[in-house]
Amino acid sequence: MSAIKVMVVDDSLFSRTLIVEILRDSGLEVVGEADSYDSLIETYERCRPDVVTMDIVMPDMDGFECSRALFVKDPNAKIILVSSMKDEESEVEARRIGISGYIQKPVDSDYLVQMINNVMAPDIHYDHLLAYGLETFKESLTQNIARMTKSPVSFASYENFGDHYLSQGITAVIGLIGRHSGSMILDMSMETAERIVEMLLKRAHRNREEVLSMVAELANIIAGVACSMLNKSDKTYSLSVSPPSLFYGTGTEIMSPNLKMDAVTAGTNFGNIFLGVGFKKGSSIWM
Amino acid sequence: MDVSIINPLLTAFTEVLPQLGFQSVERRKVSKIEAAFQYNGILLNISLFGTVKGAILFGMDIEAAKKFASKMMMGMPVAELDAMARSAISEMGNMVCANTCTQFTKIGITDLDISPPTLMISENGEATLPVPKSIVVNFLIDDIELSAYVSLMNK
């Protein structure tokens, strides 16, 4: 296995040298250095590091600003903040914008190296979520459709969500918040939704609101039950479900640019239901 | 929904956008809206969960979105709203919402977290927000019009 490639960003030549020495002594490969915002992006693109260590206080733009700029270039960048200042507020913001770790100066060499290794190590919880996430949502969909409509569900694989998905008519988007945050997308045609409403209410739908609110509720139940199942399998997921946003209109393109989604098509007696689920690799070292 | 709930978002806009290369962030109109509304162009959805929950959405027409992405990419021309442009706009949403959570922390709401962004593109789309009464804020960012929909409720 080749050494982990690290890029060091710090405006102080002394600090930079110190960090570079620590990394080299530990067998990591330092592929680039930058001392400001200006040199950061160019260096990053040239040397493609696995991990970036980022100072917070710098002359032109601070480490948060530099990190934001870097995430715009590469949403999957792995950044560890290195700073003499560390308070709860900046820690929380760092975590939310997707920074992987935060370490205080003076840098403890063992701690820094361990953090870099952690950032690069496979995350068992996340891998488990990737392996069982969609399966659990499928199970929840099957269970709840069966419970509500006494009818079966079959699944056809949906060949990767990829770039985008074209809505059949009604889309519910639910945010999944927890150790690893994610999204669930449920999409079906107006006709499918109308047929489900008809089945549940034993009469024709009265208006579009009635149909839309059924889709919202169905999405809510499926996501809620699936998250409960995942939380039961491992309580550290601590997943919660946000209320659904609904989108209506055929020809609507749906995409999740910075998140890989797994998707399937569920065949029901009422029509096809598209189910997409994705989780973002969180930063387990924050927990 | 109390209008003051948008203050964290307003602060987030003025803090984050200059860091992404924008010169001026001007707040235009603030209005309350019903849950359902029409949109044309892009709509970016980010869910929030904690003591308050719901979603924040960002809307722009396609031309505005291209200009916006181009500014974020240091003026690189954006002819099509391609994967890179969409990713840039999604990151903007992510950062503004992350910063909004941080602003909420300052008024004692410390437990918020956000979901990854989902992007919708439609010519004649309709959206229904998670909360019946929401607030829309119209911004002029440099010369680009952007609407932010704040749809949050207390848990």
Can you tell me the distance from the alpha carbon of A110 to that of B143, in angstroms, rounded to the nearest whole number? Answer: 49
Torsion (CA) B8, B14, B16, B18 in degrees, nearest 10? 180
Please report residues of B whose CB lies closer than 8 A to that of A256. Answer: 116-119
Per-residue pLDDT tens over the stretch A148-168: 999 999 999 887 677 789 999
pTM for this prediction = 0.86
Query: Cβ contact (<8 Å) for B47 and A245?
Result: yes
Q: Which residues have CB under 8 Å from A100's CB, separation 6+?
A: A51, A78, A79, A80, A119, A283, A285
User: How many helices (H) and strands (E) are present in chain B, helices listed first?
Assistant: 3, 7
End residue of a domain, out of A67, A85, A120: A120
Confidence of residue A203 (pLDDT cuts 50, 70, 90): very high
Q: In this complex, which of B55, B110, B119 lies closest to A257 when CB atoms are compared? A: B119
Q: Number of folded domains in chain A? A: 2
Torsion (CA) B70, B74, B76, B80 in degrees, nearest 10? -20
Q: State the DSSP H helix or E strand holding residue B8, giving kind and residue range, or none if neither.
A: helix B7-16
Across chain A, mean pLDDT equals 91
Residues B60, B65, B67, CA angle at the centre, nearest 5°? 130
Per-residue pLDDT tens over the stretch A65-87: 899 889 888 888 999 999 887 77
Per-residue pLDDT tens over the stretch A212-264: 999 999 999 999 999 999 999 988 889 999 999 999 998 899 999 888 899 99
Q: In this structure, what CATH number is given to the domain that contains residue B21?
A: 3.40.1550.10
More confident residue, A30 or B155: A30
Test mutation, A163, A220, A245, chain B, max B CBs within 10 A: A245
pLDDT score, position A241: 97
What region does A43 belong to: left with phi over 0, alpha with psi -120 to 50, or beta? alpha
ipTM of this predicted structure: 0.94
End residue of a domain, out of A90, A120, A150: A120
Per-residue pLDDT tens over the stretch B52-75: 999 999 999 999 999 999 999 888
Regarding whether A254 and A236 lie in a shared domain, the answer is yes
Test mutation, B37, B47, B119, chain A, max A CBs within 10 A: B47
Mean pLDDT of A175-180: 92
Residue-range definition of the domain harbouring residue A86: 5-120
Q: Which of residues 168-207 of A touch B (CB under 8 A)?
A: 171, 173-178, 181-183, 185
Can you tell me the distance from the alpha carbon of B111 to that of A88, in angstroms, rounded to the nearest whole number? Answer: 12
Note whether A96 contacts B: Cβ–Cβ < 8 A: yes
Please report residues of A whose CB lies closer than 8 A to that of B45. Answer: 173, 245
Phi, psi of A94 (to 5 degrees): -60, -45
Does residue A285 fall inside a structural domain?
no
Q: In this structure, what CATH number is given to the domain that contains residue A84?
A: 3.40.50.2300
Please report residues of B whose CB lies closer than 8 A to that of A71. Answer: 91, 94-95
Per-residue pLDDT tens over the stretch A87-123: 777 888 888 888 999 998 888 999 999 999 988 887 7
Note whether B31 contacts A: Cβ–Cβ < 8 A: no
Does residue A236 fall inside a structural domain?
yes
Q: Number of folded domains in chain B? A: 1
Per-residue pLDDT tens over the stretch B103-131: 998 899 988 999 999 999 999 999 999 99
Does residue A270 fall inside a structural domain?
yes
